[in-house]
Structures are given as C-alpha cells and as structure tokens.
C-alpha cells in the first residue's frame, strides 16, 4: 500500500520523465544530469525496474570515447538553461558538458542486481564494460600521477557547486577581460539569495572557457586549467563504487576486470588519507595546486563511512563531529559545518541539507554499526519532505524547502527510504 506522499513522489518521477531519462526539475534544470539519474534509478526501481535501468542506460548515450560520462547531456537545446551546449562546445553527439560528476552508477547497478533477478543481471552485464571505462577514466585522467587521489577540474564536477570547500581554489581564478557578457538563467527561476553569487559564476565560466578553448583535452585541463581540487564526495563515492564494481566483476567472473579494479581499490585509501586535515580533524577538500585544505567539515566529509575510508581513530573523530553537528541542527545533515564561519542556511551548498547526500551518508553510518546516526539522518530526510514537499534542498534550521520544486532526486530518495 502506498500513501499520498509516495504517490506524489511517483507522480514527480513520471512528470519529469522525458522519454527514458528524467530532468531534475522542470524549468530550472531541463536536461539529463549524471548523478541525478543514478539516484532517479533508485526511485524508479521501487515501482518500475525496467524504467530504472533505462534511466542509467540513457546516461551512457553521452559517454565519451575516452570513457568519461559527462555531467549534463543536452539532447535538445533549451534556452531556459545557461550555460547550454554552445558554451560547453563539447563537439560530441549528443552534445554534453565537458567534465563528469560523482560516479554513483556502479553502486546503483550492484544494488539493482542484488535486489533483482535475471534481467537485472543481464542489463548490469551489458553495462559493465561502460562502467569499467568510466572508472578507468577517473583513475587515469583525474589522477595522472597515480596517487590514489582523484581531482576535479570544476566545482560543478563535485555536484556541490558553491560549497565553501571550493573557495580556496576559486579565489585563485583570474577572470579574463574577454569572458564576455552573459545572462544567467538560474536566477530567473530561483531567489538569487539562494544561488551562487555573480563573482562565483564568472569564475565557473572562466573554467568552462578554458576547457572549451583547449577542446576539453583532459590532460591540459588537469595540468594547466584554472582549478584542480580533490573532493571528499567524488573520492568517497568512487571508493564505494570501485568496490561495488569489484562485486560485479566477481559475479561476472571477469578476471581481467578484477585485477584492474584491485589496483584502484589499493590506491583509493592512500588518496583518502591525503585529504585528512589535522587542523579540521577530518577529511576535507584539498587544493591540488597549492596543497591548501578546506577548513571545515561538510556532508561530503561524512561520506568517509560510505566509502569505507580512514583508520579507526579517524572514524572516531568523524563520529565526534557528526554528533556535535547533529546536536546543533534541527534537521541534518548540513552541507557546511554550522559551527564554522561561512555557514549560510539557505544558500545552496553553503549550508542546506540535500536528500541524496543523506541517503549515502546513512548507508555508510549503518555499514559501520552507527545505527543511531543512520536513523537520525533518515528520519530528518523524511521529515523535511513531509513538512515542506519535494524540494531540491532544505534549510537545516527550519526544514523549509528551497530551490526547485517537484525535484526528481528528492522524490526518488523518499521512495528508496520508505520502500
């Protein structure tokens, strides 16, 4: 028996369906986004497993020859979104953005297989080489020196666009005189006080201009581009997904893939260690150009449990942070530490709570025997939706829904949590 809220969540997924893929929300985000589709699949799986697979299969329509799965696929031009396909200049078919997003898909594929039947196994098997190519891309192009730490070339690649984590890298970006004028579209849809500032946007576009002008050559963007940082979200999501990919390789008895993935898994923990900060006493974003570390704990730091990173002592420190932040917030988990300067309860990734981060975090807490933390995170995720509806993100102090309404991933996570 489904209740009203579940029916509304299902209706949102159906309404945002554009034929095999969903948009995150009508208007504000009119294309297919990478990790949004991974989470959308979790929601679809609760009532239509074929549609769940379609969501991630269509994502791979945009995979580049080198293996990268881009963060946005532009199937048709929609003037309601900026920056669109012309600004990115990917020269691919379909047109896409020029960098990736956190690689959640392998974990979703494993989950579909383990909770499903023969058809799930067949579709995962078919997708497996594509997943391998994408992970290979991360480990090869985003970690060219094989340190175990993968970097991101744009804050958008983290999926946590304007988190203060990126300020240390973004402050070094010099906006060129010939950036040109442009019309942002996001602030046509959503209150500007909840969005990244204009200064931040100019820097975002400076990175995109650099990428476009070098033909999105990953080596050049990584070595010479305006921004290169390590993100706890990408690192821990990749760590988790590498292990999930290994489970699939074992199931498919693919010895070559197993050997390759074993190399990645062996390096992942060293990468995680490079993000540990004694000052913040936790895992934090790190500028790979300067070595500077972000000063505070975020919801991405808390994904250490999901990724399975860290020593026992380090995890104990992270639990201490988690409990203190939980005590100080009515709804968790905030995207920036409220005990820290820079916290803005309504501005996007500078404080608000996001359902998808909570879903991964709770799974990580549970895996480490922290049932009370997992329960609190899940309870708050459901409570905010009950109070405010299926918004893009939520104010951690009031639970008010913010950003785009009728949001695909918020609906999907709700379904995944109650099913």
> Among 33, 141, 305, 394, which residue interacts with ligand 9YW (rule: CB under 6 A)?
33
Helical segments of 166-251, H only = 167-170, 186-189, 198-213, 218-224, 232-251
Catalytic, out of 120, 194, 392, 395 = 392
216 binding ligand 9YW? (CB under 6 A)? no
**Site membership for ligand 9YW, residue 156 (CB under 6 A):** yes
Among 9, 16, 24, 167, binds ligand 9YW (CB under 6 A): 24
What is the spatial order of strands in the sheet that 229-230 belongs to?
151-152, 229-230, 286-287
Q: How far is the CB of 217 from ligand 9YW (least distance, A)?
A: 22
Query: Shortest gap between Cβ of 354 and ligand 9YW (angstroms)?
Result: 8
Tell me the site size for ligand 9YW, rule CB under 6 A.
Answer: 8
Which of these ranges, 30-38, 44-52, 56-64, 288-296, lies near ligand 9YW under the rule CB under 6 A? 30-38
Is 392 a catalytic site residue?
A: yes
Binder of ligand 9YW out of 36, 167, 287, 395 (CB under 6 A)? 36
CB of 122 to ligand 9YW, least distance (A): 29
161 binds ligand 9YW (CB under 6 A): yes
Angle (nearest 5°) at CA 141 between 138 and 146? 85
Do 379 and 361 form a contact (C-beta atoms < 8 A)?
Answer: no
3-state secondary structure (DSSP) of residue 401: strand
Report the distance separating Cα 174 and Cα 153, nearest Å.
15
DSSP 5-62: HHHHHHHHHHHTB-SSSB-SBTTTB-SEEHHHHHHHHHHHTTT-HHHHHHHHHHHGGG
Site stretch for ligand 9YW (CB under 6 A), options 29-37, 46-54, 120-128, 217-225? 29-37
**DSSP H or E stretch at residue 381:** helix 371-388
CA distances from 176 to 29, 99, 108, 154, 220 (A): 27, 21, 41, 17, 18
* Least Å from the CB of residue 321 to ligand 9YW: 23
Q: Shortest distance, CB of residue 156 to ligand 9YW, whole angstroms?
A: 5
When the beta carbons of 156 and 216 are compared against ligand 9YW, the nearer one is 156
Q: Which of 30, 103, 159, 211 binds ligand 9YW (CB under 6 A)?
A: 159
**Pick the catalytic residue: 36, 161, 231, 380?**
161
**In the numeric block, which tokens belong to residue 232?**
């706890």
Asked if 201 interacts with ligand 9YW (CB under 6 A), we say: no
Q: Does 351 bind ligand 9YW (CB under 6 A)?
A: no
Q: For residue 6, indicate whether it is catalytic.
A: no
Q: How far is the CB of 291 from ligand 9YW (least distance, A)?
A: 26
- Answer whether 335's CB lies under 8 Å from 349's CB: yes
Decide if residue 157 touches ligand 9YW (CB under 6 A).
no
Q: What share of the chain is helix, strand, coil (3-state, %, to 5)?
A: 55, 5, 40
Range in contact with ligand 9YW (rule: CB under 6 A) among 154-162, 217-225, 305-313, 339-347: 154-162
Residue closer to ligand 9YW (CB basis): 152 or 248: 152
d(CA 33, CA 37): 6
Give how far Cα 37 sits from Cα of 17, 60, 71, 101, 141, Å. 11, 11, 10, 11, 23
Residues that bind ligand 9YW (CB under 6 A): 24, 29, 33, 35-36, 156, 159, 161
| Residues marked as catalytic | 161, 392
């Amino acid at each position: 028996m489904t209740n009203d809220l579940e029916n509304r969540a299902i209706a949102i997924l159906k309404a945002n369906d554009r034929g095999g893929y969903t948009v995150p929300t009508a208007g504000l985000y009119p294309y297919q986004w990478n990790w949004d589709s991974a989470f959308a699949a979790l929601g679809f799986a609760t009532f239509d497993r074929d549609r769940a697979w379609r969501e991630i299969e269509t994502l791979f329509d945009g995979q580049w020859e080198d293996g990268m799965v881009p963060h946005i696929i532009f199937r048709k031009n929609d003037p309601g979104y900026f920056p669109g396909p012309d600004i990115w200049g990917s020269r691919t078919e379909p047109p896409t953005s020029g960098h990736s997003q956190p690689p959640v898909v392998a974990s979703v594929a494993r989950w579909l297989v383990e909770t499903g039947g023969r058809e799930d196994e067949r579709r995962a098997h078919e997708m497996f080489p594509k997943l391998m190519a994408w992970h290979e891309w991360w480990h090869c192009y985003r970690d060219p020196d094989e340190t175990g730490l993968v970097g991101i070339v744009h804050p958008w690649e983290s999926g946590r666009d304007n988190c203060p984590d990126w300020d240390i890298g973004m402050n070094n970006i010099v906006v060129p005189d010939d950036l040109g004028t442009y019309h942002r579209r996001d602030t046509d849809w959503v209150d500007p006080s909840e969005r990244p500032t204009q200064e931040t946007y100019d820097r975002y576009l400076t990175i995109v201009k650099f990428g476009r002008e070098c033909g999105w050559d990953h080596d050049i963007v990584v070595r010479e581009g305006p921004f290169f940082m390590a993100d706890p979200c990408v690192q821990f999501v990749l760590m988790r997904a590498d292990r999930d990919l290994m489970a699939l390789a074992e199931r498919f008895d693919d010895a070559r893939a197993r050997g390759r993935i074993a190399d990645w898994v062996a390096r992942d923990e060293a990468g995680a260690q490079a993000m540990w900060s004694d000052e913040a006493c936790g895992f934090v974003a790190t500028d790979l150009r300067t070595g500077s570390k972000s000063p505070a704990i975020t919801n991405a730091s808390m994904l250490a449990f999901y990724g399975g990173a860290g020593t026992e002592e380090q995890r104990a420190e992270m639990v201490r942070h988690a409990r203190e932040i939980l005590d100080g917030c009515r709804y968790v988990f905030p995207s920036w530490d409220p005990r820290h300067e820079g916290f803005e309860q309504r501005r996007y990734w500078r404080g608000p709570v996001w359902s998808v981060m909570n879903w991964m975090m709770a799974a990580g807490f549970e895996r480490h025997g922290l049932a009370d933390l997992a329960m609190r995170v899940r309870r708050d995720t459901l409570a905010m939706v009950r109070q405010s509806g299926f918004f893009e993100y939520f104010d951690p102090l009031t639970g008010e829904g913010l950003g785009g309404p009728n949001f695909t991933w918020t609906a999907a996570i709700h379904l995944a949590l109650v099913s």
